[in-house]
Amino acid sequence: MKKDNVVRDKSYVFALKSVKLYQYLLKEKNEFVLSKQILRAATSVGANVEEAIGAESKKDFQHKLSIAYKEARETHYWLRLLKDADYLDKEIATNFLAECDELLRILGSILKTIKN
């Protein structure tokens, strides 16, 4: 039986929602630059979590999760920028930022545990 992996699942769902956000920004807002930044950073979180799961060592695992954490920080930045530039309404931005904050807390907790 496959064991649940919360960070893997949440980062995947977050990436999928970010793909849909990218499509919305392109079609509805005609925004081509910031939308690519958010797409790249948000999908990178989950990609690096997947790489961490397949890590070859504890050091490699920590490194990949550190990258995922930094990508989540960057995603948080782009979300705030999109909100403040009025590309995203407050409700959508608030929901995305809350999910991003949750990923940051989970990743930060894992990294803190590894370092101790």
User: Which ranges of the chain have pLDDT less than 70?
Assistant: 1-2
**Are 69 and 100 within 8 A, CB to CB?**
no
The tokens of 78 are what? 């782009």
Map out the domains of the chain with their CATH numbers. 6-115 (1.20.1440.60)
The angle subtended at Cα 86 by Cα 27 and Cα 76, nearest 5°, is 90
* pTM reported for the whole predicted model: 0.94
The angle subtended at Cα 47 by Cα 53 and Cα 73, nearest 5°, is 105
Per-residue pLDDT at 3: 76
Per-residue pLDDT at 116: 84
**Are 102 and 17 within 8 A, CB to CB?**
no
- Secondary structure of 53-65 as H, E, C letters: HCCCCHHHHHHHH
Per-residue pLDDT at 20: 98
